[in-house]
A and B are shown apart, each in its own frame.
Chain A
């Protein structure tokens, strides 16, 4: 829902690193986005195509890698994935307790760039 603000932030990071690495053109951008984040992938590409016009990142393809929401059980130590969007249960599948913590799934990063 806030893809425009996110795209602006992303473009800044991309251009900064492209410049630092003396790239002539950015051809691909890989993002690492956790399951908890509510971003619509195709809108991100659309906004990016618009905002990147005239920059060396124009035309870059965005690949989004989704990191799952991973919980760790405070009782038995089991780590497991929960499909939040499908309404998955949070409680531990091994021992059934609700004494669990979210350990991963809130990532929101530019992971890597493909440049020439």
Chain B
């Protein structure tokens, strides 16, 4: 009977994805391109926030968007209508975007002519949190109709993101969404998370979110010298 050996490994399960994500980050640094990974449930307002962001920042930054969906061109058509380039990834079933998919999308973009790439991830509060896309920063949206208890139900997503955008604040009067309670729950799980309350529909608060993103991009470029 052959002897059983134990081999100590302690390597990340997703190490291949992680390594490629690190390569992507390096390539973005070389081209001085800031990449934001934007995640949320379906219908929270990712595309709307991206459209509103483009309208406010496109005169300062050259923007490109990577759209991720199971199927369809619905979102990328809205982006292209704003006058910025978009690449549509159709995953055909995968519930998240990963580094290989983003690498493929970036190959078809001219990084030399971009300052900011925004990834609109697949609508999903679970899986995208696990997969590093090589992005510089991560942001998520939680919309008022979804409820203020989502921090408790999806802790990983809230803990890996740098920013939280609470969208659809024009619905606050119609729900018992407790903003203070949400913020307290977020601070416990992720003290560094910056929180913004917006309505993409009315425009309220969107400037504050864009100021944050602008600062992030400028800091990134300035540190490159």
Known interface pairs A1-B127, A17-B11, A110-B11; A116-B188 also in contact (CB < 8 Å): no
| A37 close to B7 (CB less than 8 A) | no
**Given A36-B159, A100-B188, A106-B156: A27 and B13 interface contact (C-beta under 8 Å):** no
What are the residues of chain A within 8 A of B156 when measuring CB–CB?
36-38, 106
Interface-central residue, B96, B98, B189, by most chain A CB under 10 Å? B189
CB-defined contacts of A37 to chain B, threshold 8 Å: 130, 156
Task: State A21–B9 Cα separation when bound (angstroms).
Answer: 11
Q: Determine if B6 is an interface residue (Cβ-Cβ < 8 Å).
A: yes
In the complex, the number of residue pairs spanning A and B with C-beta atoms less than 8 Å apart equals 107
Smallest Cβ distance from A81 to chain B, in angstroms?
14
Chain A contacts with B in 85-103, Cβ cutoff 8 A:
87, 90-91, 98-102
- Closest chain-B Cβ to A72's Cβ sits at a distance in Å of 12
Note all chain B residues with C-beta closer than 8 A to A91.
Answer: 188
Q: Please report whether the interface of chain B is mostly helix, strand, loop or mixed according to DSSP.
A: mixed
Partner of B5, one of A1, A108, A115: A115
Residue numbers in A under 8 Å from B110 (CB-CB): none
* Cβ contacts under 8 Å, A111 to chain B: 8-10
Q: Is the CB of B155 within 8 A of A84?
A: yes
CB of A103, distance to nearest CB on chain B (Å) = 12
Q: Does B71 contact A (CB under 8 A)?
A: no
- Using a CB–CB distance below 8 Å, which chain B residues touch chain A? 2-17, 94-96, 98, 124, 126-127, 130-131, 152, 155-156, 159, 184-185, 187-191
A-B contact pairs, 10 of them (CB 8 A): A2-B130, A5-B98, A17-B11, A36-B155, A36-B156, A98-B187, A98-B188, A102-B159, A112-B7, A116-B2
Additional 4 contacts, C-beta under 8 A, given A38-B156, A90-B188, A116-B5? A2-B126, A13-B12, A36-B159, A110-B9
Listed in ascending order, the chain A residues whose CB lies under 8 Å from chain B are 1-2, 5-6, 9-10, 12-13, 17-18, 21, 23-24, 27, 31-32, 36-38, 69, 84, 87, 90-91, 98-102, 106, 108-116
